[in-house]
């Protein structure tokens, strides 16, 4: 089948390569010429495990271009552009709207437009009306991929969700997308067909639930901090109840990235527009708890070191999560910037995130007090304190004795509760976790 994918960011680029892996002829289209140039040369423009290999393996069935007219040959068109957060918290629909407008002249009778972007409920209905005069049908097929596992999640998803129009159009859309995903469906992947509004809500509801789970355990960490309880043991104990489950109960400096924070804010904004803001008022608490986690590290450092001005602090982690170079709304980078603003000299180390962080640090005018490196060992030389802000495996497996010898001070703040506390204490460190004193 001939497929076009509009938008080649984390979602679209991985989707394009994965569709080629399934045997389809794919063209990826994006307005960013640098990204397209890189993808066309089978070089991933961002760090995502397995993605380079997928691009290379499928290069004979994959092309990338900035020219929207290349979509004319395709019969299935995936829309995978970003919906960033607007100043008022709502989702910015500029890219989705311009992708659909750009695509309209190249659509023909029988084509299928498949929305993948995370959008406010009601969007698919509106776009469907726009697409209808071309004879094409629109459906919504939200994506649940996690960065760091994007290839695996695209080719072996937990479930497929189809939001379709009522009647024959819905049936034909379902049949075409079933053909596209036939290999995935043959593996027994659950496939749920529903109306537009439900499919749009599935995505934001899933992300809201995950965000709530993380903020719940972080609220418990706040209580643990004042009671002497240990939030990791608490999570283990409640997690054995299968109704609760242990996953996504890791307390620490909270969630970041390009999805969870903006999706819960966009959902709240949309509910308010619909006159049901009260239904989601709890998500504001979820957001507030999460934002408080980022200030907690500076509080702990101040408790231990006094005034931070003049102190040298090394932060391990810049990306919002391990195995990613994504620094969007990263708690790790936010914390490093706030420590620099408090007068500390900060060195941030991350195997991947150090590169994209440089431009942002220059923009924020903090280059004199905040530097980045890929080498987390070199970074600790002479430091008064070490903060672990992203749980890369290479940090967790580090030798505490060696690190202790390189540092001036002996304080470690484990912002992700990912270190073996006893091991670090045995090496002479003062260990402070998040909700596990």
Active-site residues, by number, are 259
Instruction: Choose which of 214, 283, 403, 434 interacts with ligand UDX (CB under 6 A).
Output: 214
> Does the footprint of ligand UDX cover residue 264 (CB under 6 A)?
no
CA distances from 102 to 70, 197, 256, 387 (A): 11, 24, 31, 46
> Does the footprint of ligand UDX cover residue 249 (CB under 6 A)?
yes
**Where does this chain touch ligand UDX (CB under 6 A) — which range of 67-75, 119-127, 242-250, 429-437?**
242-250
As given in the structure block, the two tokens for residue 8 are 């080649």
Residue 265 vs 321, nearer CB to ligand UDX: 321
CA distance 100 to 284: 32
Rounded to a whole number of angstroms, the minimum distance from the CB of residue 302 to ligand UDX is 23
CA distances from 124 to 135, 165, 326, 365 (A): 16, 9, 28, 41
**Where does this chain touch ligand UDX (CB under 6 A) — which range of 42-50, 141-149, 236-244, 274-282?**
141-149
Residue 170 vs 415, nearer CB to ligand UDX: 415
> Does the footprint of ligand UDX cover residue 256 (CB under 6 A)?
yes
Instruction: Choose which of 16, 210, 271, 314 interacts with ligand UDX (CB under 6 A).
Output: 210
Burial 354-376 (b: 16+ CB within 10 A, else e): bebbeebbeeeebeebbbbeeeb
> Does the footprint of ligand UDX cover residue 252 (CB under 6 A)?
yes
> Does the footprint of ligand UDX cover residue 348 (CB under 6 A)?
no
As given in the structure block, the two tokens for residue 329 are 């709304």
Instruction: Choose which of 115, 120, 257, 415 interacts with ligand UDX (CB under 6 A).
Output: 257
> Does the footprint of ligand UDX cover residue 250 (CB under 6 A)?
yes
Instruction: Choose which of 27, 259, 280, 383 interacts with ligand UDX (CB under 6 A).
Output: 259
> Does the footprint of ligand UDX cover residue 145 (CB under 6 A)?
yes
> Does the footprint of ligand UDX cover residue 144 (CB under 6 A)?
yes
Rounded to a whole number of angstroms, the minimum distance from the CB of residue 252 to ligand UDX is 5
Residue 137 vs 210, nearer CB to ligand UDX: 210
**Where does this chain touch ligand UDX (CB under 6 A) — which range of 124-132, 160-168, 255-263, 278-286?**
255-263
CA distance 176 to 60: 23
> Does the footprint of ligand UDX cover residue 321 (CB under 6 A)?
yes
> Does the footprint of ligand UDX cover residue 334 (CB under 6 A)?
no
**Where does this chain touch ligand UDX (CB under 6 A) — which range of 68-76, 124-132, 244-252, 392-400?**
244-252
Longest dimension (CA), the chain: 71
> Does the footprint of ligand UDX cover residue 317 (CB under 6 A)?
no
> Does the footprint of ligand UDX cover residue 83 (CB under 6 A)?
no
- Beta partners for residue 78, in sequence order: 5, 114
> Does the footprint of ligand UDX cover residue 85 (CB under 6 A)?
no
Rounded to a whole number of angstroms, the minimum distance from the CB of residue 145 to ligand UDX is 5
Taking CB under 6 A as the rule, which mask of x and - marks residues 34-73 in contact with ligand UDX?
----------------------------------------
# residues near ligand UDX by CB under 6 A: 20
**Where does this chain touch ligand UDX (CB under 6 A) — which range of 95-103, 159-167, 253-261, 306-314?**
253-261
Rounded to a whole number of angstroms, the minimum distance from the CB of residue 348 to ligand UDX is 16
Strands, sheet with 345-349, edge to edge from the N-terminal-most edge strand: 370-373, 345-349, 312-316, 385-388, 411-414, 430-432
> Does the footprint of ligand UDX cover residue 255 (CB under 6 A)?
yes
> Does the footprint of ligand UDX cover residue 320 (CB under 6 A)?
yes
**Where does this chain touch ligand UDX (CB under 6 A) — which range of 109-117, 191-199, 254-262, 333-341?**
254-262
Rounded to a whole number of angstroms, the minimum distance from the CB of residue 221 to ligand UDX is 11
Residue ranges in contact with ligand UDX by CB under 6 A: 143-147, 207, 210, 214, 248-250, 252, 254-257, 259-260, 320-321
């Amino acid at each position: 089948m001939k497929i076009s994918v509009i938008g080649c960011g984390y979602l679209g680029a991985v989707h394009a390569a994965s569709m080629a892996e399934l045997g389809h002829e794919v063209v990826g289209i994006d307005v960013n010429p640098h990204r397209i140039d890189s993808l066309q040369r089978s070089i991933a423009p961002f760090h995502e495990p397995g993605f380079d290999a997928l691009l290379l393996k499928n290069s004979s069935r994959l092309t990338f271009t900035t020219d929207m007219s290349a979509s004319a040959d395709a019969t299935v068109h995936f829309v995978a552009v970003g919906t960033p957060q607007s100043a008022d918290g709502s989702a910015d629909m500029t890219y989705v709207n311009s992708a659909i407008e750009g695509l309209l002249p190249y659509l023909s009778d029988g084509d299928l437009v498949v929305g993948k972007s995370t959008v406010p409920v009601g969007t698919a209905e509106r776009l469907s009306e726009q697409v209808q005069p071309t004879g094409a049908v629109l459906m919504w097929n939200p994506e649940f991929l996690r960065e760091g596992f994007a290839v695996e999640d695209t080719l072996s998803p937990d479930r497929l969700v189809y939001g379709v129009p009522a009647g024959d159009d819905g049936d034909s859309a379902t049949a075409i997308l079933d053909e596209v995903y036939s290999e995935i469906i043959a593996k027994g992947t659950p496939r749920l067909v529903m109306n537009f509004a439900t499919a749009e809500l599935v995505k934001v509801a899933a992300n809201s639930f995950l965000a709530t789970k993380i903020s719940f355990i972080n609220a418990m960490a706040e209580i643990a901090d004042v009671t002497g309880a240990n939030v990791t043991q608490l999570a283990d104990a409640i997690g054995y109840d299968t109704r609760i489950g242990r996953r996504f109960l890791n307390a620490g400096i909270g969630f970041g990235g390009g999805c969870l924070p903006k999706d819960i804010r966009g959902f709240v904004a949309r509910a308010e527009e619909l006159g049901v803001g009260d239904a989601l008022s709890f998500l504001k608490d979820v957001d507030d708890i999460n934002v408080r986690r980022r200030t907690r590290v500076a509080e702990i450092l101040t408790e231990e070191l006094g005034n931070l001005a003049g102190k040298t602090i090394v932060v391990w982690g810049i990306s919002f999560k391990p195995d990613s170079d994504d620094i969007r709304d990263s708690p790790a980078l936010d914390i490093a910037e706030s420590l620099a603003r408090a007068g500390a000299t900060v060195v941030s180390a991350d195997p991947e995130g150090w590169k994209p962080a440089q431009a942002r640090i220059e923009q924020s005018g903090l280059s004199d007090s905040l530097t980045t490196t890929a080498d987390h060992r070199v970074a600790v030389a002479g430091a008064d304190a070490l903060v672990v802000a992203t749980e890369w495996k290479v940090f967790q497996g580090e030798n505490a004795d060696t690190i202790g010898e390189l540092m001036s001070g002996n304080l470690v703040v484990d912002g992700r509760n990912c270190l073996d506390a006893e091991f670090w204490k045995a090496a002479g460190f003062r260990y402070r976790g998040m909700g596990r004193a």
